Structure 1
Amino acid sequence: MNRRELMRTASALALAHLAGLRAAQAQEDPAAYPTRPIRVMIGFAPGGSTDAPMRVLAEAVAKILGQPVVIENKPGAAGVIPTQMLQAAPPDGYTLAIAPAGVYRLPYTTDIKWNPASDLCYVIGLSGYAFGTVVPASSPIRSLADYIAYAKANPDMLTYSSPGVGTTNHLTMEQFSRATGVKLNHVPYKGSAESLQALLAGHVQSAAETSAFVPHVESGKLRLLAVWSDKRMARFPEVPTLKELGIDIVQTSPWGLVAPKGTHPTIQARLHDAFKQAMEQPAFKASLARFDMEPDYRDPAQYQRFALASMKKEKDILDTLGLSRK
């Protein structure tokens, strides 16, 4: 047998072993779940406003379930890589993912063969981001009016970073550009931590970010020009909303935990109950408060209804912006 045949045989044996392992895992008694470590994939880099609270939550859930809960960062592609990876994962409750809003626009921007609303098992809604536009504290841009004026005077020259192409941050800035008649230069990164570091290092002039900006604004390194929520942030009551400034945009972005389609209802319920108990603990609430976020609980049925409504909303936005592929 030559080398190529040996490699083919080895690959076939490995695939057969993997298939057998998945089948065996799927046959585990759901009532005994969990019997080994659980991994939760996050589509953003470490240190951001998704990663930090989830690590606190994972620690609490590990104590409740009696098994380690391991966070794995899979940054890029607007945070949706983990949910795509779930499509090939066994529905045994040991591979989970955080679903950001970008998941619900995938069918309209990417050629995928699965439906986010029906091909994921919705476990629990956990929280939602706060967003805003920030510049360095040393920037001559001191208000959103200054920002717009500079952009109009320098078309395509004013740079802003975001956690990636196709993220809620990016698409909201596209809406902002059209609403204000400005042309901006988008510089995408892999997650909020990288995006804000680029701003702090002077590689870009501004950032469209989640509330991961909070520590940097509080330390005096960044200036918050406007928030995208319906109301002002309690931490920065002097900073106006986009709506207050005459720009009809309100943006929030709830996120939560999902599992592969076909996950046994007993396992889904076990996960839901453990994460719900953990998200009610002071440590998780404190980790969210660090980024001016709050718990935003949804049970499995509520979370799936939210997914269906979000898909419709995302399609409407993308159609309006002319960015939908369909």
Structure 2
Amino acid sequence: MQTRTFIKVAAGFACAAVIPFASFTAQAQTNFPDKPITLVVTVPPGGAADFAGRTMGEALSKQIGQPVLIENKAGASGTIATAYVAKAPADGYTLLQGAISTHGIGPHFYTKTSYDALKDFMSLGVIAEFPLVLAVNANLPVNNLQELIALAKQKDGKMSFASAGSGSAPHLTGELFQTEAGIKMLHVPYKGSAPAVVDVAGGQVDIMFDGFPSLMPHIKSGKLRAIAAVSPTRNALAPDLPTFTELGYPKMISSLWYMPMVPAKTPQAVVDRLNKALVEGLKGTDAQKRLEAGGAQMVYGTPAQTQAYIKSEYDRWGVVIKNAGISTSN
């Protein structure tokens, strides 16, 4: 599923939004915001999620004339931060840096949370996508995707792939790859992307799917070899690298994505105000350039359109999990 294509398809539903609480709406349009806003990020400082959150927060702050404070609430695959924002007042002053881990894949693994990831949040219409890339240890005797698949079939389950942890986007992308290519590999989960990349570069694990920013230093050093981009179009950081789609695997599309969200009962006028400020603060600005330099691809839409994208990701990864036979009990 291509995000931009889906946004276009979903556009027709945006007009159906109903603005509740008319009297409050007029007041909110006039007064909001009149104090600082907090953006809750689901990971510790550093990394793509925190970088995206801080850059978006800075852009939003410039547009609304109020500070946007970043609060890092890490742990339990983002469920701690998500639960915190779900219980916050629905007034637009507490935002969540939603992600594929909290709203796409995570709900299938964490089914006993105090919130409903799909029903209790509303997207603010901006997505920062960090497409994944398949890289292999440089000593692996393969130079392209066809050779890699052939070697995996020959080894029949003995080839290994690393991930940032069970249930992470790199893990599920590896599972999808096995299904699409008709191969078997051994999954080796790590506590985060950094140690996983180090071990693939060192030869302890054969391959890995991850974002280009994490892989690039080892690709440049010659310890890793990039094989294919897991995105609809070629990655701007490696324009010569073919995509899985080009190579005959159109379902191989995956990214780490992040989008600001608010509790679902937030007044429509506040949602629209935040959406407008985010788009104007990011689109075509230095903030967007910084995100793109870090490997992100920016997508802009209405809250309704990006909310539909969340549901499509939830459905898509649910199928991958089911087909791979992965246990999701918690």
Identify the TM-score tier after normalising by the shorter chain.
0.7 to 0.9
Secondary structure of residue in 2 paired with 1:96: strand
Name the counterpart of 2:280. Answer: 277
Q: Any residues of structure 2 matched to 1:286-325 within 5 Å, and which?
A: 286-323=289-326
> Matches of 1:79 and 1:313 in 2, distance apart?
20
How well do the aligned residues superpose, as a CA RMSD in angstroms? Answer: 3.2
One-letter amino acid of the structure 2 residue matched with residue 54 of structure 1: G
Deviations 1:241-272 (A, max 9, x none): 22344445331344311112322333322322
One-letter amino acid of the structure 1 residue matched with residue 311 of structure 2: L
Q: Is the 8 A contact 1:38 1:68 kept in 2?
A: yes
Q: Is the 8 A contact 1:78 1:163 kept in 2?
A: no
Matched length? 299
Name the counterpart of 2:174. Answer: 173
For the structure 1 residues 174 and 285, does the alpha-carbon distance in structure 2 shift closer, same or farther, using more than 3 Å as the test? Answer: same
Name the counterpart of 1:37. Answer: 36
- Normalised by the size of structure 2, how large is the TM-score? 0.75
Deviations 1:50-86 (A, max 9, x none): 3323322222222322332233344455555433332
One-letter amino acid of the structure 1 residue matched with residue 104 of structure 2: Y
> Matches of 2:91 and 2:67 in 1, distance apart?
16
Q: Is the 8 A contact 1:77 1:165 kept in 2?
A: no
Q: Any residues of structure 2 matched to 1:133-212 within 5 Å, and which?
A: 133-137=134-138, 140-154=141-155, 157-193=158-194, 195-200=196-201, 204-212=205-213
Structure 2, gaps ≥5 residues long: 1-26
One-letter amino acid of the structure 1 residue matched with residue 178 of structure 2: S
Which stretches of structure 1, 4 residues or more, deviate above 6 A after TM superposition?
Answer: none
Q: Is the 8 A contact 1:109 1:323 kept in 2?
A: no
For the structure 1 residues 163 and 82, does the alpha-carbon distance in structure 2 shift closer, same or farther, using more than 3 Å as the test? Answer: farther
Name the counterpart of 2:126. Answer: 125
Q: Is the 8 A contact 1:132 1:224 kept in 2?
A: yes
Q: Is the 8 A contact 1:123 1:259 kept in 2?
A: yes
> Matches of 2:287 and 2:219 in 1, distance apart?
21
Per-residue deviation, 1:306: 2.2
1:83 corresponds to 2:82: yes
- Normalised by the size of structure 1, how large is the TM-score? 0.76
Name the counterpart of 2:110. Answer: 110
Secondary structure of residue in 1 paired with 2:184: coil
Secondary structure of residue in 2 paired with 1:34: coil
Deviations 1:6-57 (A, max 9, x none): xxxxxxxxxxxxxxxxxxxxxx977433344322223345443333233222
One-letter amino acid of the structure 2 residue matched with residue 92 of structure 1: D
Identity across matched positions, percent: 29
1:58 corresponds to 2:57: yes
Quick one: higher RCO (CA 8 Å, sep 6+), 1 or 2?
2
Per-residue deviation, 1:87: 2.1
> Matches of 1:219 and 1:85 in 2, distance apart?
40
For the structure 1 residues 43 and 145, does the alpha-carbon distance in structure 2 shift closer, same or farther, using more than 3 Å as the test? Answer: farther
The structure 1 residue matched to 2:230, chosen from 228, 231, 248, is: 228
